[in-house]
Structure 1
């Protein structure tokens, strides 16, 4: 087997994850071919055997990918969803449970990426935030990230809902609020998925290496930051990771 097709959604997070996996494939003399598209289309292609690997399924959220015959490999990293406050050292706002008592300095307009809206709605319901005067402002994902980043630069006190990994977590400057009711969900697990039949066809050493590959949300966040803020390609960011240059040792 000299060629494998890798499919991933069109986001820098998934591109970074795929780039790290491609480094492993190339080290094993496997030439990667890349397919990018919407999740639903890629799910169907994986199930039909039209692509070889999908990177990466965040389980249990992406459980629909686990159609008969699809193989899930070991955990790459642990994604999570958090409500974040654009002030790292605020002494009073530490938990979602005390937001209702926050002063007027905190904007009641909560930014949320559209793909995380269902998480935010569960949070709003559990903590009665709408009754406390908060409203959800759902934006396209990239616009939501840019809006929160601008708020950090202006030192405005706002809330947003973020999925980790993400370049903003590498950039820092904000606080993750405690979620005692676990409304935003527990940590997920990110996996490489193999099309039906590929597990039996793949070289066993390569299979084991992919199954044992561990990245981390810090690694992917750092790669995402390098791609967005420093202009590195996904391949260059993956090489920097391999050489130990992305994160302090």
Structure 2
């Protein structure tokens, strides 16, 4: 159970979110605060933020991906800082799939293409995630359901296993993806164009807080939190440390901060 004066830091239960939350927690620890990590799924975490059970949440993808959830709690919460920019979703195919055959999502509606595809099932992220919501809209907008394409919500480990298995077999397939993440460092994948612009523009990824608890933090702590900035490559680097090197999110955050001391000192102004 969290102590009364500890700071509860929440994140979605996916490694690229958890490493960002771990950075926040480690910075707070450096400032002398005890932290308690909490992870969960989208609806649950925003509900807990709105009830004050989570004090800080890293990271909220706004205004598009998680905007509908943010609207439910924004009267009780505050956007502390933009942690990084450029968070976005897309669909991809292996680079060995010719761009002359598949260049944009609309090309998937070609009935002749089905002969080359190992499967017309797209394995996606958990139900309720932005990637699943937008991917379902993509299937409808491009008429892919009429071309026998289906989208199945799963989880990130299933996406990874699917990519590994199908690329090893040399299959033609489509996978939903996002940035930041480590998969681009491992697999040779090519993003598909989205001419109908069904996927939203890039989001900002923000640190948000339960307003009442944030206001209770010392002014110096609030100032440090407001100065924290990351790049997409920073998050992807820590995500790779978790998924490829076997580090925990906390260990990956510590390693990254140890190698980026100047950046940490700029946040702390130490």
* Structure 1 residue 87 corresponds to structure 2 residue 116: no
* Structure 1 residue 146 corresponds to structure 2 residue 161: yes
Q: Partner of 1:109 in structure 2?
A: 121
CA distance in 2, matches of 1:191, 1:241: 19
* Structure 1 residue 42 corresponds to structure 2 residue 45: yes
- Which residues in structure 2 correspond to 1:175-194 (within 5 Å)? 175-194=190-209
Q: Which runs of 5+ in 1 are unaligned?
A: none
CA distance in 2, matches of 1:239, 1:142: 24
Is the contact made by 2:123 and 2:158 (CA closer than 8 Å) also made in structure 1? no
* Structure 1 residue 55 corresponds to structure 2 residue 58: yes
CA distance in 1, matches of 2:50, 2:90: 31
| TM-score normalized by the length of structure 1 | 0.86
CA shift for structure 1 position 40 = 3.1
CA shift for structure 1 position 196 = 2.2
Is the contact made by 1:16 and 1:238 (CA closer than 8 Å) also made in structure 2? yes
Aligned residue for 2:211, secondary structure, equals coil
CA shift for structure 1 position 244 = 4.0
What RMSD, in angstroms, separates the aligned Cα atoms of the two structures? 2.5
Q: Partner of 2:172 in structure 1?
A: 157
Identify which range, 193-202 or 73-82, moves more after superposition. 193-202
Q: Partner of 1:12 in structure 2?
A: 15
4+ residue stretches of structure 1 with deviation over 6 A?
A: none
CA shift for structure 1 position 224 = 1.8
CA distance in 1, matches of 2:153, 2:213: 39
CA shift for structure 1 position 106 = 3.1
Is the contact made by 2:14 and 2:156 (CA closer than 8 Å) also made in structure 1? no
Is the contact made by 2:97 and 2:172 (CA closer than 8 Å) also made in structure 1? no
* Structure 1 residue 97 corresponds to structure 2 residue 106: yes
CA distance in 2, matches of 1:33, 1:138: 30
Q: Which runs of 5+ in 2 are unaligned?
A: 261-270
